[in-house]
Amino acid sequence: MALLIDSPNVPWRGRLWAHLASDTSFEELHAFARSVGIPERGFDGDHYDVPEEHWQAIVAAGARPVRSRDIVAALTAAGLRRRKLRRTPSAG
């Protein structure tokens, strides 16, 4: 059982963001997120988006730093990976 977090390297809205995931269950992930004060609106299908300024505190609380590809692999292995639907241009 592990909570995994990658480096904050995704730019969005003027900030850098990391991804927090569980390799075990969404229940574990949501409980950990609540315990470190991540709001529910940060949940994005199979992970939480975490702003750079909160990264150190989340690692100190027990999340293990890993590469982004390790998060994807762990989610896939656990059957927790939820791919986003891609929008296709409408014909017109």
- Cα gap 57→61, rounded to integer Å: 6
pTM of the model: 0.86
In a domain, 92, yes or no: no
29-53: per-residue pLDDT in tens? 999 999 999 999 999 989 999 999 9
Backbone angles phi, psi at 39, to 5 degrees: -70, 150
In a domain, 91, yes or no: no
48-88: per-residue pLDDT in tens? 999 999 999 999 999 999 999 999 999 999 888 987 655 55
User: In total, how many domains does the chain have?
Assistant: 1
Structural domain including 18 reads: 3-77
Name the DSSP letter for residue 52: G
- Cα gap 2→41, rounded to integer Å: 22
In a domain, 17, yes or no: yes
